[in-house]
Copies of this chain bind each other. A is one copy, B any other.
Amino acid sequence: MRGGTSKCWIFDARDLPPGATEAGGRLEEVLASAFGARDPRQIDGVGGATSTTSKAAIVRPSTEDGVDVEYLFAQVGIGTPGVEWGSNCGNCATAVGLYALLNGLAPATAPHSTVVMRNRNTGVRLSATVPTPHGTVPELGAATVPGSLATGVPVGLGFRHPSGASTGALLPTGAPVDTLDGGIPATLVDAGAPAVLADAAALGATGLEHPEAFAALVPALATLRRAAALRMGLATDRDPVSHAIPKVGVVAPPGDYLTTLGDHVKGSDYDVAVRMVSMHAPHPAIGLTSAVAVAAAVLTPGTIPAQLAENRLSASVIRLGTPAGVVTAEAETDSAGTVRLITLHRAARRIATAQLLVPALLQESV
């Protein structure tokens, strides 16, 4: 399935071999083999050899009250037979929502259906709302997302009570701004996903860079990610370095720039500029969990994104300037200012239904 700007292979947990439904171990071996992960070009499997096309989700009905399905997200290795299990993927979540409706894992109602999902990697609860006229789930739609010309079924992806799922607090260190190694100011936030949002200017960047130019900052941001992981309590010194957790990137004041598709974006069209890293490379747009993190930070006084977006916000709509274009988040807050729901308007589509021939499993059955 395509979800937004990601391609994601979605598995029904009941179709997987025994013992291959939990993170790590057997499931990791099965996915790495199915994707051809060991090869940097993923030529011997269904992977697409880029971070946005080497993704999987394992879905199953939930026994939790008010939750339709739960899913485990897998960022499958490229050139290495491993899987990163620590993060969620919002683009895949939109695909999981549509998948659940198409495959009867959640009931379709009229005129809309809302699938409530629990992400098993992070504990975050999300909802996907899809127009289903007469209770019929569409295969096609006219919705688009920044970064792709392709159309799909509109999916409203809602992050409910998105704060603190990984660390217990919206601001894990208690501070709206921390100073990381080398004196770099950054906001450490946990909403949608844990994220480090560094001040672009402190790194000598504008935050308006094309991905190719932004690539030069990736090594420095990888270092900040590790430092922030320790500060946020996501890892200890003894843990291996994660390239997926927390999300890391820079934020900057709005300015004019050209999108990767060549469209002009004016600084007046959005509230805060964002350039994120995906694994080892510039993200071509923004991960949706990162978008939730930035939006929640914008709504939290004193954070760097809030300072940058000051006086620009029209109530509950937060507009993020990403390399692919402007991503808009809608927020609902309670009277205390706590974020109750952040919704992103996305598009998804079923690309294929397939049976995968997995060498690691076939070898055993010989």
Contacts and interface: CB of A to CB of B under 8 A. Distances in A.
A45 B351 contact: yes
A41 to B, nearest CB: 7
Contacts of A356: 351-352
Interface residues of A, number: 39
A6 B149 contact: no
Nearest to A140: B362
Interface string A38-50: 1101111110111
Contacts of A354: 352-355
B41 A52 contact: yes
A148 B336 CA distance: 57
Tell me what chain A mostly uses at the interface: helix, strand, loop, or mixed. loop
Given A38-B149, A49-B50, A43 B355 contact: no
A251 to B, nearest CB: 25
Contacts of A39: 148-150
A283 to B, nearest CB: 13
Contacts of A150: 36, 38-39, 43-44
A29 to B, nearest CB: 15
Contact of A2 (B44, B52, B362): B44
A220 interface: no
Contacts of A53: 41, 43, 48-49
A27 to B, nearest CB: 18
A41 B351 CA distance: 14
Contacts of A152: 44
B351 A353 contact: no
A139 interface: yes
Interface string A142-153: 000000111110
A5 B41 CA distance: 9
Given A39-B148, A43-B150, 11 more contacts: A5-B43, A6-B43, A39-B150, A41-B148, A42-B48, A43-B52, A43-B53, A44-B150, A139-B362, A140-B363, A352-B357
Interface of A: 2, 5-7, 36, 38-39, 41-46, 48-50, 52-53, 139-140, 148-152, 284, 349-357, 359, 362-363, 366
